């Protein structure tokens, strides 16, 4: 009487584990880079959206605002010289937080919705990522980091 034994040998199991280890060794650095790029782009898009929201608020309510970006936080508040705005709001109007350190910037937004012309670069940039914001008088555009330049499309 012949018995058939079903299952895997130890050599087959070790071989499969070695192949999986090689695949993970290749995939993990790529995944880490992708994850860092994703969070940077998410923070930049949130900040650009926040800037556009602040422009709309300043224009519709006819108030002068200041957007202060300090590290992992951006806060919108009234300009100290705008008495009408300060009578409506006390302290910060709204704040948002980021995963990345966005640097230190102060952006003035007039009651007409105009911005301070500047370029915002996070401290930890990734070349090729949508990781910067170029501000012109009426627009906040997300750009791609190319070395030390923010290229908008």
Q: Model-level pTM greater than 0.85?
A: no
With a cut of 90, say whether residue 153 has pLDDT above it: no
Q: What is the CA radius of gyration of the chain?
A: 25
With a cut of 90, say whether residue 4 has pLDDT above it: no
With a cut of 90, say whether residue 90 has pLDDT above it: no
The pLDDT value given to residue 17 = 93
Q: What is the pLDDT of residues 6-24, one digit of tens each?
A: 788 889 899 999 999 988 8
Please state the domain extents for the chain. Answer: 15-114
Q: What is the pLDDT of residues 36-69, one digit of tens each?
A: 888 888 999 999 999 999 999 999 999 999 999 9
Please provide the DSSP assignment of 66-122 as one string: EEEEETTEEEEEE-TT-HHHHHH--SEEEEEE-SS---EEEEEE-TT--B--EEE--
* Cross-strand pairs, 70: 73, 104
Read off the pLDDT band of 30 (50, 70, 90): confident
Cα end-to-end distance, the chain, whole Å: 76
With a cut of 70, say whether residue 1 has pLDDT above it: no
Gap between the Cα atoms of 109 and 114, Å rounded: 6
Gap between the Cα atoms of 132 and 114, Å rounded: 19
Q: What is the pLDDT of residues 107-135, one digit of tens each?
A: 999 999 899 888 888 877 777 778 889 99
Is the backbone of residue 134 left (phi > 0), alpha (psi -120 to 50) or beta? beta
Half-sphere exposure at residue 123, Cβ-oriented, CA atoms within 13 angstroms: 12
């Amino acid at each position: 009487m012949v018995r058939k034994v079903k299952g895997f040998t130890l050599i087959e199991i070790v071989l499969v584990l070695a192949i999986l280890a090689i695949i993970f060794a290749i995939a993990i650095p790529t995944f880490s880079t992708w994850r860092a790029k994703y969070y940077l782009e998410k923070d930049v898009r949130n900040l650009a959206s926040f800037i556009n929201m602040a422009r709309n608020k300043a224009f519709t309510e006819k108030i002068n605002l200041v957007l202060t970006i300090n590290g992992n936080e951006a806060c919108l508040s009234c300009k100290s010289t705008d008495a009408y705005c300060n009578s409506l709001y006390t302290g910060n109007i709204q704040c948002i937080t980021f995963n990345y350190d966005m640097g230190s910037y102060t952006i003035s937004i007039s009651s007409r919705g105009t911005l301070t012309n500047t370029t915002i670069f996070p401290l930890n940039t990734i070349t090729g990522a949508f990781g910067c914001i170029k501000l012109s008088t009426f627009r906040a555009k997300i750009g791609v980091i190319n070395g030390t330049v923010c290229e908008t499309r």
